[in-house]
A and B are shown apart, each in its own frame.
Chain A
Amino acid sequence: MIILINNPKSAHQVYATPPGDLAIWFFIFAELLAFGIFFAAYAFARAHNIALFDASQQHLSRTSGAINTLVLITSSYFVVRAVAAIKQGYSNQCARWIGAAIGFGAIFLAIKSFEFYGKFSSGITLSTNTFYMFYLSLTIFHFMHVILGMLILAAVMLKARRGGYSAENHTGVETGASYWHMVDLLWIILFPLIYVIH
């Protein structure tokens, strides 16, 4: 977990650890691995049944997927602003930016729920076909991660509002931000992979 970097400011500090608590990076590592294998499995399964995958893919709403991509990237930007704010010691600003990120997370969930509602009411389940198995598994799995990410951000926001972080000590904010960026990153891979590429 130690990354070798070139830091011109302090010659003696050659090693840097990733931002936030190292513990979250074990979690992020495991999650990326699980998603990564799932993505690879998707590619593998698709290669064996391109016609089915392409035909089923036509029924997905790319517009809502694209909007959701923008929503998540925006919320990630807010989280970046929150980290920048706390580095200056502005607790309230930090909490507000995180609140905005959570709000955008909620928008993502709303749009996604609407999409799921359409799929479920037309009788699509995990057992409909292999494409829908992957589509539902990966998007629901990701959906749950958005909820978890929002819970983590909410905990960080509450602590920030109480003044629990400072310019010197803000590991918690970076930890939450790291996790949220991962959730965002996963969607950025997931969206083109499942909705677009054919």
Chain B
Amino acid sequence: MNETFTKAMARNIFYGGAVFFFLLFLALTFDTVQTLPKRDHRENITDSVVRGKHIWETRDCIGCHTLLGEGAYFAPELGNVYKRRGGDFIKMWIKGQPTGAPGRRQMPQFDLNDQQLDDMVAFLKWTSEINTNNWPPNIEG
């Protein structure tokens, strides 16, 4: 059997393939970054939205909830919660935690003030307006 299969060629294919596909990935990333302003409505990112994202992060909300489907699967999706429940409900809900219902999943009390609650809602409202290619399948998330 006259088989040629050399390590040098395998190595070249590894390096060549990796560089090639990474360059393609960079090209697609470039196009994505160019296209995003039309989809994420960044003109609507107010200071309130920015503060809201900071509150979202510093309470580790992602440790229970999903946001656009990413995060933990312990509590409801919040990417579209503004559309599902509206701003007033969100504020009331955060203020009312924990429910203390025995045996039920509990959300901590974060002691947010009115300004922080408004920021949180602003962030969730902006997030709900991102063009996500119609995900989630329905309002329940």
Contacts and interface: CB of A to CB of B under 8 A. Distances in A.
Contact of A17 (B2, B10, B16, B31): B2
A14 B83 CA distance: 69
Interface of A is mostly: helix
B31 A24 contact: no
B20 A22 contact: no
Interface string A6-28: 00000001011100111110110
Contacts of A171: 4, 6
Interface in A1-47: 2, 13, 15-17, 20-24, 26-27
Contacts of A20: 4
A148 interface: yes
Contacts of A141: 24
A171 B1 CA distance: 15
B28 to A, nearest CB: 8
A21 B35 contact: no
B31 A21 contact: no
B45 interface: no
Nearest to A152: B16
User: Which range contains the number of B residues in contact with the other chain?
Assistant: 20 to 34
Contacts of A152: 16
A60 to B, nearest CB: 20
Given A20-B4, A148-B20, A126 B9 contact: no
A175 interface: yes
Given A17-B1, A22-B3, A144-B24, A125 B9 contact: no
A27 B27 CA distance: 21
Contacts of B23: 144
Contacts of A22: 3-5
Contacts of A63: none
Interface string A143-167: 0100010001000000000000000
Contacts of A67: none
Interface string B30-72: 0100110010000000000000000000000000000000000
Given A17-B4, A27-B13, A171-B4, 11 more contacts: A2-B1, A17-B1, A21-B9, A22-B3, A22-B5, A23-B9, A24-B9, A26-B13, A127-B35, A144-B24, A148-B16
Interface of A: 2, 13, 15-17, 20-24, 26-27, 125-127, 140-141, 144, 148, 152, 171, 175
